[in-house]
Amino acid sequence: MYIESLKVIGHDVHRRLALFCLNVLARPLRYENGQMLFEHSAVITLWYKIAPCLANEVDARLYEQCLRRIHSLACDPDESENYFPLWLFFWTQVTKKTPDMAAGYVEEFLNDLTDRKQIAMVSVLSVSRPFSSRLY
Amino acid sequence: MCPQSSIWSEVTSTLTCTLKNLFDSYVDPADAQADLIACLGPPVSSVFMEVLAKSFNSNVELFKANSSHILTIVEQLLLMNNIKDTRGLVEQTIIVHFDSAVDIDALLRMLIRVCPLVSVEHRKELCLNVIWYIARKLYDVKCSKTLGPLFFDFALVLLDLCVIEAPRHARILLEKNEFYPWKELAPRCSDLVRLCAAYDIIDEKKVINDLSYLENILELVSARAKANLVIVHATHGEALRAILRWLSHAENDSKNRWCQHVFNMGHKMLDLIDQRQITSDTCLDIIEALQKRVTSNEEDDNDEEVRGMIGPFLYVSEFLICRVHTFLSVDIASRDWHHDWPCI
């Protein structure tokens, strides 16, 4: 019962966190002088801590909208340096535990690899089952 | 006695010059008590008191015989908010004989009782002119550790005065080495944190000021907490309350901003939060507060000052986020463990 209550706690907190991140990500990234808004720095820090804490698909899916925004930033040549690692980190942490979710993004992974020359995506692809099945 | 009369002032100056030692010895030391009380008037006769004080200064036996009466006089003077004469008396008598003849227990009990009664307008003077000397002596003096709790209470009373000059003295008291029974004092540490946090209402724009001693006090508490975990257990509530308060906007300032010293305290306050007591509600409260702050920053975007403040605030947020993460990872660690078992 103790473990059950922990699960419930975790999900609520994740939902709130995801909302917070989404909120922040929706806002302009930088000041005129190029300085990044502090809340964005905060979210980047936070992201690296959240991803390892995701143990199941239900929680991970809470972050999908954030992921989309992060990926679009990752594709922006000005911002990819900061945001591509977030994309990559999320998937390296989460793919094993949420293979079905990862399956939905294989297209993006392949594009990352081929168009955007992100070699690191190979490790993500090698773990996700659907890719292996697509090979054959 | 009529100090206003010019005749009298001539009398006193003649007396003080020619009969300097008039009060140096008494046949019966207890007679000094009558003279001491006479000093009080009303009105208070500063000159008379000065002369008496000088006698006590040079004669430790006289002092010893009358020390409790001197404390009574000091008490009466403080209740009259007469800081000037208090200082004179204290400096000449109590401070001089501190190491040999002063009853520290009685002194502390009197100060603990009386300091809160000094009017707000006079507290700054009190700290600068009276507490200054006493606090230093208390720090240096070698006395029994059984007085530890009493010293601690005095430090709390000083902080409660809520003037900029007070934290410095509270800090020096608390730094007395190997003196306080920290385990036993743990519950009182919660009051200590609360009293420090209460200084957030003080509007102090100077960047470097005496309020930095508050940070030192908080640092000291968290250092002691590393050796006595029960302390952090006690401080958790107040520390969390303060941090959540500071994450939202100040109510007293027209620009809705906390002063620098508040952010500096916030940084130290984070170490006084007890990991084990963080619940999901705590996490939600924190995220909620951060969210509000971020949304309201939208209005302030063009304000250079706000951007300047962001530095310390970022620190606070990042540390909070790490704490939230630690809670989450404890959460996860237990889940993973449970996860592996079914394989058996």
Predicted confidence at residue B334, as pLDDT, reads: 46
Min distance A49 CA to chain B CA atoms (Å): 6
Tell if the CB–CB gap between A6 and B331 is shorter than 8 Å.
yes
Residue B135 clears pLDDT 50, i.e. is over it: yes
Residue B234 clears pLDDT 90, i.e. is over it: yes
CA dist A70 to A53, A113, A123, B19, B39, Å? 18, 17, 19, 90, 79
Q: What is chain B's alpha carbon radius of gyration, rounded to the nearest angstrom?
A: 26
CA-nearest residue to B316 within chain A is A42
**Mean pLDDT for all residues in chain A:** 78
Helix (H, G, I), strand (E, B) or coil at A36: strand
Among A35-44, B128-137, B238-247, the range of highest mean pLDDT: B128-137
Q: What is the pTM of this model?
A: 0.78
pLDDT in tens, B52-72: 888 888 888 888 888 888 899
Indicate the residue of A38, A46, A52 with minimum beta-carbon distance to B310. Answer: A38
Going by pLDDT thresholds of 50, 70 and 90, the confidence category of residue A101 is confident
Nearest to B224 by CA among B186, B197, B187: B186
Residue B5 clears pLDDT 80, i.e. is over it: no
Average pLDDT over residues A37-64: 81
pLDDT in tens, B282-315: 878 877 887 877 777 666 554 444 444 445 455 5
pLDDT in tens, B75-103: 999 999 999 989 999 998 899 889 888 99
Is some CB atom of chain B closer than 8 A to the CB atom of A1? no
Average pLDDT over residues A21-46: 83
Q: Which residues of B touch A (CB under 8 A)?
A: 279-280, 283-284, 287-288, 290-291, 294-295, 297-298, 301, 307, 310, 313-314, 317-318, 321-322, 324-325, 328-329, 331-332, 334-336, 338-339
Residues 17-46 of A with CB under 8 A from B: 17, 19-20, 23-24, 27, 31, 35, 38-39, 41-42, 45-46
